[in-house]
């Protein structure tokens, strides 16, 4: 299914992106839900899928984590089922991510889907990332407050809620409406009837995550082995003193690793293409041989990228799921990064090179791309 987003992207980026929340009425005209509540409930029964049930009864918040065996104990009001990264597991929902490729792929994270009964929600809270919330079936009321330092409290450790706030947006969303919320704006939504919501979330790595990820990369490569040296050790008034120039020298040693452009590029390509949630990888059995792939593409078959697979390009280098893909055929590699569906024309003359076919076969046999008629 193709979804067409009625949004003036240049105007939106200038006026709203990371600046102000906004409701986009009929962002998706004649919206059709790509998944049913029963299908979503079924996914939450799978151990590989990250899911939660959130309820608010008698003034108390309760959170339970999947996989779930049954929902018979849930009542008819005041609860929600939330499932992360549904686009990894349900192919039709992956199509809902494509209209947001006007923004950089590396910033897009995953698609969280919630089903809520009347009164269902997770309370007032803050997110530290951008999110587009698409209304599916049913109606849901949303309130968004001004961006101000909000005190978080934890009625439940899994719910980082905030104090009540004055709303600058207070609207009822209907099918196809979209609510965009930048980081730091408190918000809450609760269903007026059985409703589905689709949240397209964006990555916003913290400095802590970046430093930790880079440190792991350095350790795995066994780089940074240079040791501190001071052949002209300076004199000091006290042997207990660490001099400013010594701290400067150690900082320069550390920065030299980050300032290496080749190393920084390789690390970030690997780091940012690793998914935060599991992928629904199903390697073909038996594995494809390179000549079988050539024949299938020549006959007009299409390769489709696995939902949630992160394929990104830095300069002339392409990274897939945490690994760099090596090949001199840059246009073909660019096609892997740019296109969700690929045919023989995307690869051009690269298909005549046995080494490229072997590389493509390795990617397909890893379950990253699969053939569709």
User: Which tens digits make up the pLDDT trace of 200-228?
Assistant: 999 999 999 999 999 999 999 888 888 99
Determine the average pLDDT of the residues in 125-136: 94
Specify whether 79 is located in the same domain as 145.
yes
Give CA–CA dist 270/317, Å, rounded.
11
Average pLDDT, whole number, for the chain? Answer: 94
Spatial CA neighbour of 135 closest among 27, 4, 51:
27
Q: What number of other Cβ atoms are within 10 A of residue 332's Cβ? A: 22
Q: pLDDT at position 156, please?
A: 66
Least confident stretch, 54-68, 90-104, 349-363:
54-68
What pLDDT does residue 160 have?
76
* Per-residue burial over 243-270, b = 16 or more CB atoms within 10 Å of its CB, e = otherwise: eeeeeeeeeeeeeebeeeeebeebbbbb
315 plus 186 within the same structural domain: no
Residues 218 and 178 in one domain: no
In a domain, 74, yes or no: yes
Instruction: Identify whether 78 is part of a domain.
Output: yes
Same domain membership, residue 76 and residue 173: yes
d(CA 353, CA 351): 5
**What phi, psi does 346 have (nearest 5°)?**
-65, -30
Asked whether residue 43 falls in the same domain as residue 98, the answer is yes
Q: Tell me if 282 is assigned to some domain.
A: no
Both 161 and 27 in a single domain?
yes
CB-side neighbour CA atoms (13 Å) of 170: 5
Query: Is residue 342 assigned to a domain?
Result: yes
Instruction: Kindly state whether residues 186 and 55 are assigned to the same domain.
Output: yes
Task: Give me the DSSP letters along 161-179.
Answer: EE----EEEEEEE-TT-EE
Residue 2 confidence class, pLDDT cut points 50, 70, 90: confident
pLDDT at 281: 95
Identify the band that residue 7 occupies on the pLDDT scale cut at 50, 70 and 90.
very high
Instruction: Tell me: do 24 and 150 sit in the same domain.
Output: yes
Cα angle, residue 200 at apex, residues 20 and 2 outer, rounded to 5°: 115
Tell me, yes or no, whether 189 and 243 share the same domain.
no
Residue 281 lies in a domain: no
On the question of pLDDT at 27 being above 70, the answer is: yes
pLDDT of residue 68: 95
End of a domain among 147, 173, 202?
A: 202
Domain that holds residue 124: 9-202
pLDDT in the model for residue 150: 66
Instruction: Give the contacts of 200 (CB within 8 A, at least 6 positions apart).
Output: 96, 97, 100, 108, 111, 131, 132, 134
pLDDT of res. 83: 98
* CATH number where 221 lies: 3.40.366.30
State mean pLDDT over 74-100.
Answer: 95
User: Percent of the chain having pLDDT more than 70?
Assistant: 97
Is residue 277 situated within a structural domain? no
Residue range 45-63: mean pLDDT, rounded: 93
**pLDDT exceeds cutoff 80 at 364:** yes
**pLDDT reading at 155 higher than 90:** no
Q: In the prediction, which pLDDT does 372 show?
A: 87
The answer to whether residues 192 and 125 touch, using CB atoms and an 8 Å cutoff, is no
CA distance 32 to 35: 9
63 or 158, greater pLDDT: 63
CATH code of residue 121: 2.60.120.650
The answer to whether the beta carbons of residues 158 and 119 sit under 8 Å apart is: no
Look at the chain and report how many structural domains it folds into: 3
- Residues 223 and 194 reside in one and the same domain: no
Read off the pLDDT band of 151 (50, 70, 90).
low
Banded model confidence at residue 157, pLDDT cuts 50, 70, 90: low
Q: What is the pLDDT of residue 58?
A: 84
Mean pLDDT, residues 245-259? 94
Would strands 317-320 and 323-325 be described as parallel, antiparallel, or unpaired? antiparallel
**pLDDT of 14:** 97
Q: Does residue 243 share a domain with residue 128?
A: no
Residue 242 scores a pLDDT above 70: yes
* Residues 363 and 309 placed together within one structural domain of the fold: yes
């Amino acid at each position: 299914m193709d979804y067409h987003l009625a949004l003036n992207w240049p105007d939106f980026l200038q006026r709203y992106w990371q600046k102000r929340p906004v409701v986009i009425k009929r962002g998706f005209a004649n919206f059709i839900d790509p998944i049913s509540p029963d299908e979503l409930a079924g996914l939450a029964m799978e151990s590989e899928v990250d899911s939660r049930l959130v309820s608010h009864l008698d003034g108390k918040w309760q959170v339970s984590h999947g996989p779930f065996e049954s929902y018979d104990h849930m009542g008819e009001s005041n609860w929600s089922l939330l499932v992360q990264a549904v686009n990894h597991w349900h192919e039709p929902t992956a199509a809902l991510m494509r209209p947001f490729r006007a923004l950089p792929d590396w910033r897009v994270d995953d698609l969280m889907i919630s089903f809520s009964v009347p009164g269902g929600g997770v309370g007032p809270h803050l997110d530290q990332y951008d999110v587009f919330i698409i209304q599916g079936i049913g109606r849901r009321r949303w309130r968004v407050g001004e961006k101000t330092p909000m005190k978080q409290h934890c009625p439940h450790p899994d719910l980082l809620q905030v104090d009540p706030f004055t709303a600058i947006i207070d609207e009822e969303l209907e099918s196809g409406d979209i609510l965009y919320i930048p980081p730091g704006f408190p918000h809450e939504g609760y269903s007026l009837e059985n409703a589905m919501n689709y949240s397209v979330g964006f990555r916003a790595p913290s400095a802590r995550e970046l430093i930790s990820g880079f440190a792991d990369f350095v350790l795995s490569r066994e780089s940074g082995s240079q040791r501190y040296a001071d052949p002209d050790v300076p004199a000091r008034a006290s042997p207990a003193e660490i001099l400013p120039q010594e701290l400067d020298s150690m900082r320069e040693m550390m920065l030299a690793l980050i300032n290496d452009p080749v190393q920084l590029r390789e690390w970030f390509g690997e780091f940012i293409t690793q998914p935060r949630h599991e992928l629904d990888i199903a390697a073909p059995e038996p594995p494809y041989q390179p000549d079988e792939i050539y024949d299938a593409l020549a006959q007009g078959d299409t390769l489709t990228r696995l939902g949630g697979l992160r394929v990104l390009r830095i300069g002339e280098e392409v990274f897939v799921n945490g690994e760099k893909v090596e090949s001199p055929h840059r246009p073909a590699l660019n096609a892997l990064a740019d296109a969700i569906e690929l045919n023989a024309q995307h690869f051009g003359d690269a298909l005549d090179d046995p080494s490229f076919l072997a590389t493509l076969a390795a990617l397909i046999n890893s379950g990253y791309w699969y053939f569709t008629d």
